[in-house]
Structure 1
Amino acid sequence: MPLITLNAVDYSVGGPLLLEKVSLSIDSGERIALIGRNGAGKSTLLRLLSGDLRPDDGTIRREGGVRISRLEQEVPAGASGTVFDVVAEGMGELGAWLAEFHHLSHADEFDADAMSAVQAKIEAADGWSADQRVEETLARLDLDGDDVFGRLSGGMKRRVLLARSLVSAPDVLLLDEPTNHLDIAAIDWLEGFLKGWPGALVFVTHDRRFLRALATRIVEIDRGQVSDWPGDWANYQRRREERLNAEAQENARFDKLLAQEEIWIRQGIKARRTRDEGRVRRLEAMRRDRAQRRDLGGNVRMETAQAGSSGKKVIEAKHVSFGYPGKPLVRDFSGTILRGDRIGLIGANGTGKTTLLKLLLGQLQPQSGEIRIGTQLQVAYFDQYRATLREDWNALENVAEGLEFVEVGGKRKHVVGYLQDFLFTPERARAPITRLSGGERNRLLLAKLFAQPSNLLVMDEPTNDLDVETLELLEELLADYPGTLLLVSHDRDFLDNVVTSTLVMEGNGHVGDYVGGYSDWLRQRPQPGAAPVIAGSPAPGEPQKAFAAQGAAPAPARKLSYRDARELEQLPARIAQLETQVAELTAAMAEPAFYRRDAEAIAAHHAALADTQAELDRAYARWEALESASGA
């Protein structure tokens, strides 16, 4: 018997029905990929399945006692406590006991009575395996159970909520874009975990490799209707194309017949007093059918604004090192980026991908070594946190910036028409940016990016929240881009289809350089357990040098003044404080409530973030100068 059954379900948010006469059943053991264009209703269908929304019409039947867990795109406002507390909440009362045990075992003062009581409850419920499941999931998703949930960034909060969904062991697991903000290693682990999932799984994803690896069935939402396909992505794409071609031919035949009948009715009025009333009624029915027909939405049309060619040598790095005390991020890295290169950056979260980008672009000064930037560079930067969009401007203002026309693909376009290429109606283009969905914000950032003349394109996680059609069009555009591309992405297919070489953050500051995309790196990477060969590393038997001593030779030591020595001593604490402030300001911008503030408050927040980041950069520069002067 199906766990959940939908029968003739309608749901509307105004205008045409978002979901119309949807009938669907979900059985245990199925892994259903839910696909469709941005705004088609995928997240809405998940909320209907979970019971968080009620249909306007039709019925939803859930098998008695079925447990459902849903990972949503938005972070709920009520979640609080430590990471362990939030994750354990997914197991109800047992989770509360495990959280209590976790707090007692980490408390400064040991409460033997309380510990004994909660242990008895856990043992009576046979709950220690659940505790182990929580700890293993936290480790796999690189989460610290003692971190305070409220202090995490928006992306890390989503990761915690994913862990909560996984440990609850529901009968039906609903996941909305589970790979967002996960690094490739975590995605690989999640794939393996979900392949062994005994219950039913319904998931929304833009990651085609993730979809192919997991889906046993594909459910597509298209213009309010759902259709079922076997879990074979290539077969789905082929059969869908065939269906759309047949639909287009049928619509063309219908429209031609309708046009003929319209001509007949006008001629008939002039030619005779009486007409074929049956034919008139058929014409009226055809008019109604044409008015109710929902045509397939258009595709994004993307072109890039053209800039002159850069110099042949775009960026050159020589023995570059950068890191924090005890944590090297980039160590003795050398390499040259030439005009036309398409380079992907991959690695676990926190290993230094964004740091390496900033070093290569000259936004961050290396602690040792040298970065040389080429000539005639025009850089366009895609920021994964969308910080380059002004929240007090609408979509039109963000792209136009006071201009009426943009120059794209060698053509002059009105800004309203240009935004229509990115599926923004004139009304939507003038609506407050706070009303845009995640997918619309990503499309807007792409529109803003490609309106800028560039010959060096830097993209940090551009695929989040894009539907598959837009993703494939973006791949085609980047493949034809005449300039140089630096791409950070966790989307393995996207990397394979776009980049020609990869820089891999391999840990301990080592940056590996490989030919090809993600799949090519898998074939070339060192085998597990083999020590990577790091340029500048000591030979076997030699003592390991301190990180600060790697790379270029240090300057001759001199004695610092008392004031400089005191400043050097205090700078690490000041840097840590500023980094915390930057993290908190950035995390606040990822909260849904942030965009409901007034424009003045949003602008002030952006200014505070920019000022704090600038102060942090100055503190790092001063720390580096004093360390070099002291010979530390």
Structure 2
Amino acid sequence: MSLINLIDVDYSVGGPLLLERVDLSIEAGERIALIGRNGAGKSTLLRLIDGALQPDDGEVRRSEGVRVARLEQEVPAGAEGDVWDVVAAGLGELGAWLAEFHHLSHADPVDTEALARVQARIEAADGWALDQRVTETLERLELDGDAVFARLSGGMKRRVLLARALVSSPDVLLLDEPTNHLDIEAIDWLEGFLKNWPGALVFITHDRRFLRALATRIVEIDRGALTSWPGDWNNYLRRREERLNAEAQENARFDKLLAQEEAWIRQGIKARRTRDEGRVRRLKQMRVERAGRRELQGSVKMSMAQGESSGRKVIEARGLGFAFAERPLVQGLDTAVMRGDRIGLIGPNGSGKTTLLKLLLGQLEPARGEVRLGSNLQVAYFDQYRATLREDWSALENVAEGRDHVEIGGKSKHVIGYLQDFLFTPERARAPITRLSGGERNRLLLAKLFAQPSNLLVMDEPTNDLDVETLELLEELLADYPGTLLLVSHDRDFLDNVVTSTLVMEGEGRVGEYVGGYSDWLRQRRPSPTHPRTAEPADATGGAAKPAAATPAPPARRKLSYKDARELEQLPARIEQLETRLAELSEAMNDPAFFQRDQARVAEHTDEVARTQAELDAAYARWGELEGATG
């Protein structure tokens, strides 16, 4: 049964139609993965489906009574209050009444008159069943209704917004990049939850493993047109390649015939004497058809500046330790990074992955132990917060930094030509980067990074906002990179395809070392019978790991001491304070005059950024430990 039908839908945002004569039918219970290049119109299509946008032409038909809910990419600015308030907002005006009743009934003292008024409104609307639905949804998604929404981590905020979308019991759920800002454990949870969700699902994702696990159908947007494929990713790739090859051959045949007809008409007098008016009309029609052809957008052509060879030993850490407020983030780590290693860092949000990177790079002073850096290192750093981009500069200025040419692969290349390889037109390259989308900013950051000669590449969450095609090209480039790679990512396929070993944040300061990628780590760890997500790692030969690397089952729930309870109560405010300070420090670095200051002051500022980030990581880890200990 079709829940929603899009019929001959056109939509434009200026220039060629973004969506042209689109037909799409959404059936009950199916799970549709919506894919396409950045800017192809995927998010626009979701907004057309839920009615937030109206088509320029055509129609969107919804079966009577069909409920649609959409989870957006970014956290909406208006979401505030307790988690209960945010979730209840998914029920509209009645949800606002329920939230008001919830607050009034928990107040001390209770305003009985106000409580009676809102209670009467709810009873008149027969709304108590929905109150129970909010409670059940919170329990189902393991959420604390009394928690303050603004103080939650990015991943938990996404879970709350998912609850808000689900509380209306939608028949069709629309998800726009639901795995962004989630760690691997949260992605696994969401994947399992959606597999068992009975409604129809339409989702956008760059996470190929997430897509393969869920999709029963793949719908691709390409040059304004929709094509539907069965939910088999490898079959889709093969059949798409066949279609593109057939299209290229047909275009070549058409262009050859058009060239022949143009040569004929240029014969002038001879052509007119034939008086073949039908042939002239066909030529005019061919010209119109050729002018209207929408060419396939070019692929990113990534290449990288070559650095000098580093020493054989790139980084050596001995007895490395770092803690915050007596909570260890790294404890007793001995490791060596050798030239050519490709190491992935895995762990929950807030576990200290970025802090460990900065310790290994010598940007943060360890509390214990030492880090020795190898000789002749040239480091290129991809920052997940994109803080290395100057907001007051264009894309061209950010990459060129005063140069006309960059040295790529041993050859000099003009910066405009280099940026065109990353799909920036000359006009787009000269535009302020404030106009760039998230995907364009990530491509720009990659272009800036790869223009730097390097032999140690450090990448912190590089896959966010990249389309799948660009993601696969990045994998190929990193596979051929002759230097050393340190990579933080929550993309499981990306880790499997790129890294050769992993460092895993296992809690309480333990950092486990494993051979292979993400899937290899899963095979090597052994689940604890008391906690299926907890692992006791094995060594590379499959045997038992050394006791120092083992991950014990989590401690039993206990009543917090007065000191710990007080600390837990104060931590949210401390986290908010640290996040505010980190934002202030990052904003200061965006000032055009920042790097013109005295170098000692610049170094002091960047050290404070590193310390604040480390304190924030530790505070989140401590908060998670204390909350997990209560019951």
SS of 2:502 mapped into structure 1: strand
- Which amino acid in the other structure matches residue 421 of structure 1? D
Give matches, 1:438-477, under 5 Å. Answer: 438-477=438-477
- Which amino acid in the other structure matches residue 401 of structure 2? E
Deviation at 1:160, TM superposition (A): 3.9
Partners of 1:4 and 1:609 in 2: CA distance: 56
Check conservation: 1:382, 1:449, Cα contact below 8 A. Answer: yes
Check conservation: 2:73, 2:176, Cα contact below 8 A. Answer: yes
Partners of 2:127 and 2:250 in 1: CA distance: 65
Give matches, 1:145-294, under 5 Å. Answer: 145-149=146-150, 157-270=157-270, 273-294=273-294
Structure 1, unpaired ranges of 5+ = 541-573, 623-632
Count of residue pairs the alignment pairs up: 579
Match of 1:584 in 2: 580
SS of 2:428 mapped into structure 1: helix
Q: Please list the CA deviations of residues 317-343 of structure 1 after superposition, one character each: whole Å capped at 9, or x if unmatched.
A: 111111222432111111111000000
Check conservation: 2:34, 2:219, Cα contact below 8 A. Answer: yes
| TM-score normalised per structure 1 | 0.84
Check conservation: 1:585, 1:609, Cα contact below 8 A. Answer: no
Q: Cα RMSD over matched residues?
A: 3.5
Q: Please list the CA deviations of residues 382-403 of structure 1 after superposition, one character each: whole Å capped at 9, or x if unmatched.
A: 1111111111111111101111
- The reply on whether 1:513 has 2:509 as its aligned counterpart is no
Partners of 2:429 and 2:581 in 1: CA distance: 27
Check conservation: 2:525, 2:535, Cα contact below 8 A. Answer: no
Give matches, 1:466-545, under 5 Å. Answer: 466-528=466-528, 529=530, 532=536
Structure 2, unpaired ranges of 5+ = 537-544, 553-569, 616-631
Deviation at 1:167, TM superposition (A): 3.9
Partners of 1:291 and 1:610 in 2: CA distance: 56
SS of 2:2 mapped into structure 1: coil
Check conservation: 1:137, 1:167, Cα contact below 8 A. Answer: no
Match of 2:567 in 1: none
SS of 1:527 mapped into structure 2: strand
Cα distance change on mapping 1:373 and 1:413 into 2, 3 Å = same
Match of 1:570 in 2: none
Partners of 1:474 and 1:125 in 2: CA distance: 50
Partners of 2:584 and 2:176 in 1: CA distance: 22
Give matches, 1:320-469, under 5 Å. Answer: 320-469=320-469
Check conservation: 1:343, 1:503, Cα contact below 8 A. Answer: yes
Cα distance change on mapping 1:537 and 1:157 into 2, 3 Å = closer
| TM-score normalised per structure 2 | 0.84
Deviation at 1:4, TM superposition (A): 1.0
Partners of 1:575 and 1:367 in 2: CA distance: 22
Partners of 1:499 and 1:613 in 2: CA distance: 29
- The reply on whether 1:134 has 2:138 as its aligned counterpart is yes
Check conservation: 1:318, 1:369, Cα contact below 8 A. Answer: yes
Q: Please list the CA deviations of residues 448-488 of structure 1 after superposition, one character each: whole Å capped at 9, or x if unmatched.
A: 00001110101111111111110000000000000000111
- Percent identity at matched positions? 71
Cα distance change on mapping 1:601 and 1:619 into 2, 3 Å = closer
Q: Please list the CA deviations of residues 300-355 of structure 1 after superposition, one character each: whole Å capped at 9, or x if unmatched.
A: 00011100011111111111111222432111111111000000111111111111
Cα distance change on mapping 1:162 and 1:412 into 2, 3 Å = farther
Partners of 1:617 and 1:498 in 2: CA distance: 27
- Which amino acid in the other structure matches residue 396 of structure 1? L
- Which amino acid in the other structure matches residue 509 of structure 1? G
SS of 1:125 mapped into structure 2: helix
Partners of 1:350 and 1:118 in 2: CA distance: 41
- Which amino acid in the other structure matches residue 177 of structure 2? E
Cα distance change on mapping 1:315 and 1:430 into 2, 3 Å = same
Deviation at 1:103, TM superposition (A): 4.1
Q: Please list the CA deviations of residues 273-298 of structure 1 after superposition, one character each: whole Å capped at 9, or x if unmatched.
A: 34311111111111111000011111
SS of 2:527 mapped into structure 1: coil
Cα distance change on mapping 1:204 and 1:273 into 2, 3 Å = same
Check conservation: 1:399, 1:415, Cα contact below 8 A. Answer: yes
Partners of 2:372 and 2:23 in 1: CA distance: 60
Cα distance change on mapping 1:209 and 1:275 into 2, 3 Å = same
Partners of 1:20 and 1:621 in 2: CA distance: 49
Deviation at 1:136, TM superposition (A): 4.1
SS of 1:16 mapped into structure 2: coil
Check conservation: 1:191, 1:210, Cα contact below 8 A. Answer: yes
Partners of 2:394 and 2:462 in 1: CA distance: 21
Partners of 1:270 and 1:101 in 2: CA distance: 88
Check conservation: 1:578, 1:616, Cα contact below 8 A. Answer: no
Match of 1:556 in 2: none
Check conservation: 2:155, 2:183, Cα contact below 8 A. Answer: no
Deviation at 1:507, TM superposition (A): 1.4
Deviation at 1:146, TM superposition (A): 2.0
Check conservation: 2:382, 2:445, Cα contact below 8 A. Answer: yes
Check conservation: 1:320, 1:366, Cα contact below 8 A. Answer: yes
Check conservation: 1:582, 1:609, Cα contact below 8 A. Answer: no
Cα distance change on mapping 1:476 and 1:536 into 2, 3 Å = closer
- Which amino acid in the other structure matches residue 343 of structure 1? I
Cα distance change on mapping 1:108 and 1:329 into 2, 3 Å = farther
SS of 1:267 mapped into structure 2: coil
Check conservation: 2:137, 2:163, Cα contact below 8 A. Answer: no
Partners of 1:292 and 1:393 in 2: CA distance: 35
- Which amino acid in the other structure matches residue 429 of structure 2? A
Check conservation: 1:321, 1:369, Cα contact below 8 A. Answer: yes
Partners of 2:237 and 2:248 in 1: CA distance: 16
- Which amino acid in the other structure matches residue 445 of structure 1? L
Deviation at 1:163, TM superposition (A): 3.9
Match of 1:298 in 2: 298
Deviation at 1:537, TM superposition (A): 9.4
Deviation at 1:585, TM superposition (A): 5.6
Cα distance change on mapping 1:345 and 1:168 into 2, 3 Å = farther
Check conservation: 1:332, 1:536, Cα contact below 8 A. Answer: no
- Which amino acid in the other structure matches residue 147 of structure 2? D
